[in-house]
Amino acid sequence: MQLYEIHIHGCADTDTALALQEPVTRLLCPVEDHDGPCEVPWGLTLGDDALVLGIFASAAKAAEVADRVRAFVGEAHPVTLGEATDGLFEELAEQYRIEHPES
């Protein structure tokens, strides 16, 4: 388990990136007021020309989530997956530890 970033590129301006936030959120968490933690801890932020989705997951789960996002946003928004490097999503690892104490 580690932190990954999924960059959703092709957001020419802030409004475009912001418009993607809610649909991507519902892709990851279809039921807003569900009981218990999300399957994959996640967070969103805006980057240069991209909406950045941070997740704490296994490599296989990160690839699966990236594929789901890629299929959802289509060719207009290229999607890249990589290890998180800038510390933006450090709280997701702690969130996972709190929500999954047996892990």
pLDDT of residue 100: 67
pLDDT of residue 74: 87
Nearest-angstrom CA–CA distance, 72 and 56: 20
Residues facing 5 on adjacent strands: 54, 82
Nearest-angstrom CA–CA distance, 70 and 6: 10
Going by C-beta distance under 8 Å and a sequence separation of 6 or more, which residues neighbour residue 94? none
pLDDT one digit per residue (tens) for the chain, 103 residues: 888 999 999 877 778 778 888 888 888 877 677 666 767 788 888 877 888 888 888 999 999 999 999 998 888 889 999 988 777 787 777 777 767 667 5
CB 3 within 8 A of CB 84: yes
Nearest-angstrom CA–CA distance, 72 and 70: 5
